[in-house]
Structure 1
Amino acid sequence: MRGGVMGRIDVVLAILKYAKPDLKLDAKNSFEDRLRLQKYVFIMEKLGLNLGYSFSEYLRGPYSPGLAMDYYSNADIVKELKTTHELTDKEREVAEKMKIVVELTPGELEALSYLVLKGWLCDNDALVNVGFYKPHLTADEIKKAIDVGKRTLGCI
């Protein structure tokens, strides 16, 4: 089941299930879980998966209306990471890298997605820049995001 809406969300769920089998995402009832899912998929796309989601910058980070439609339409399977999709080699490679991303706190995940969205991950001033635009994030959250980002995405 690769094509269409179900195919896209199925790939996402398979990657997340591989990365953290006990991960729970209540997209229907939890705003925080919806934010996390948006950021996870944004990072997956940046890791080289072309899932076909378009992201724009919103106040709370990258946001894809298409992804929102997919997870609202499939909220029950998203919540339990129900999928029969078998990962390709490329998807498994992304899932391996996502193992560290899914362990980030909400603040660290926000910092990482913002760094990647802005193209600042490998800038010398990344800590200062994110701290300026996201003053609610701690220096430790931003440092952790930079470390995880460099280990998973690398510097170009």
Structure 2
Amino acid sequence: MDIIPGEGVASAKVGERRDVVESRLGPPVHAGLHSRAVYETSPLLVLTYTDEDTVEVVEVAYSGGGGEEAFFDGVQLTFRFMDDVVADLEAKGHQHEPIDIGHRFEPGFAIFSMGSRSARDLDPDASEDDPRDVCEGVAVAPYDYFEGPSDEEIEAYIRSREAGA
């Protein structure tokens, strides 16, 4: 499944209404918590909706075991070692920066690992303590979406919580 940076995938795009997406994909197999919904596609799609019921983020999960994976610019993104994905994208001239669980790329996607897969899933000869991260998914949204809060925003949030306590 090819991603469209900053937009999503062919079947679900940022800004689309839930009813439009579900007319293509059907109802979610798991409505999830809050605004997230899981759709049984190959690979699985996890969509986050805004309060207005429009897509905010499109996430593509890894399939593994020979299933379909996420791609961008001819590079397989999911179910590969994170460092290999980053190197392949860098070689094609795609700019990125690290984030807490992976890397965000211009013009709008992030690859991530939640640590649920081990290096042995890709390399049977890897040791149990092999530190290589496996790319478990891709989140697609406008580039700025993946930017964490500034120090000032964090401090303002803490002050507002303390004032309300």
TM-score (norm: length of structure 2): 0.27
Higher-helix-fraction structure: 1
TM-score (norm: length of structure 1): 0.28
Higher-strand-fraction structure: 2
Larger Rg: 2
Q: Report 1 or 2 for greater relative contact order, CA contacts < 8 Å, sequence distance ≥ 6.
A: 1
